[in-house]
Structure 1
Amino acid sequence: MCARSSRPTPTTRAVETAASRLAVDVSLGAQRIPLSADRVRDLVRRTLLAEHTREAMISVAFVSSREMARLNREHLGHAGPTDVISFALGLAPGPVQASVVGDIYICADVVRKNAARFGVGIREEIARVVVHGTLHTLGYEHPDGDERTGSEMWRKQEEILARVS
């Protein structure tokens, strides 16, 4: 896991029904975002359900530009911060196995800049990267550059966003 030890205690809510067990942790840290932890949690949950995932443990952490740059350098070999990085971690250890386990890191500063650059609202762009990061934890990938917006992953992302917005 890429979580750092000084990470604030996340808020956890497990959504359990007869058909699904979804646990989503959200840590806002010191980051100020215009969405509540409950809304972020709901976006992850609805993305998982849209992809027919019934058991999952997902952690979402909003991090500083500095922390995101460190994660980007150490894990992807890229310089500088990015908007979202996801790690699909496989099955959870212990007596209860989740079909999907993953960590999502989001840098609100980069998301704000991207929202302005793309001419969309900050709430919409945060929702987009939450859905995007969740799809990565499910194994979806996309090409780099301009080709990414024509990918299957991008199409799914935008379909899900249209349903949950």
Structure 2
Amino acid sequence: MAKPNVDLIIESPLWEKVAFVERAVLRAAEAVGAYSEVARAIRRGDELCITLLDDEEIAALNSRWRGKNAPTNVLSFPARMDPDKRAPRHLGDIALAFETIESEAANEGKAFDDHVMHLVVHGVLHLLGYDHLNEGDAQRMETLEARILASIGVANPYATEAA
């Protein structure tokens, strides 16, 4: 099992009031590396960077890189893959926005840490080439996210309540 090395950067003091955030972020990133369907895509020594921002900072990134002038919960920036198949690689960067995640968790009745872990898993899968641009890809990615999250005790974020 290859786990990515995670460089965690806390840019916004809002995140510092959440005592468990480092543990939650690392646990989610490691869960992706442990899941057999994607484990082969991660090599020993591979690394990624996760930066914890506020809405203002992520809105600036979203505007610059996606042309969207608003905050978002997560952004992923995959790195160009090194052709050397043996060397460790930098997989890319993930940015998370505190206020947006906090608001979404409250509105959806989710635990904040579970929502953070979901977005880390989602972001790491983007770094590994998964996407949700069409319905088929979205279904595959959501199913994979739900399975990885279940492996660490987080409920399926896409499940709808039965009527």
> For the superposition of Structure 1 and Structure 2, which TM-score range results when normalised by the shorter chain?
0.7 to 0.9
Q: Which residue of 2 aligns with 1:31?
A: 14
Change (3 A) 1:21 1:141: closer
| Structure with more strand by fraction | 1
Change (3 A) 1:22 1:83: same
TM-score for the superposition, normalised by structure 1: 0.76
Q: CA RMSD in A?
A: 2.6
Q: In structure 1, give the amino acid aligned to 2:27.
A: D
| Structure with more helix by fraction | 2
**Which of 37, 43, 46 is 2:28 aligned to?**
43
**Which of 4, 8, 20 is 2:2 aligned to?**
20
- What is the CA distance between 1:150 and its match in structure 2? 5.6
Report % sequence identity. 25
Any stretches of 5+ residues in structure 1 without a counterpart?
Answer: 1-18
Any stretches of 5+ residues in structure 2 without a counterpart?
Answer: 154-163
Contact 1:48 1:134 in 2 (8 A): no
* 1:54 aligned onto 2:36: no
Between the two proteins, the alignment pairs up a number of residues equal to: 144
* 1:115 aligned onto 2:105: yes
Q: Distance in 2 between matches of 1:120 and 1:149?
A: 25
Contact 1:40 1:127 in 2 (8 A): yes
Q: Deviations over 1:96-129 (max 9, x none)?
A: 8325511000001100111122121111111110
TM-score for the superposition, normalised by structure 2: 0.77
Change (3 A) 1:64 1:148: farther
**Which of 143, 151, 162 is 1:163 aligned to?**
151
Q: Secondary structure in 2 aligned to 1:78?
A: coil
Q: Distance in 2 between matches of 1:123 and 1:20?
A: 24
Q: Secondary structure in 1 aligned to 2:131?
A: coil
Q: In structure 1, give the amino acid aligned to 2:8.
A: V
**Which of 139, 143, 161 is 1:151 aligned to?**
139
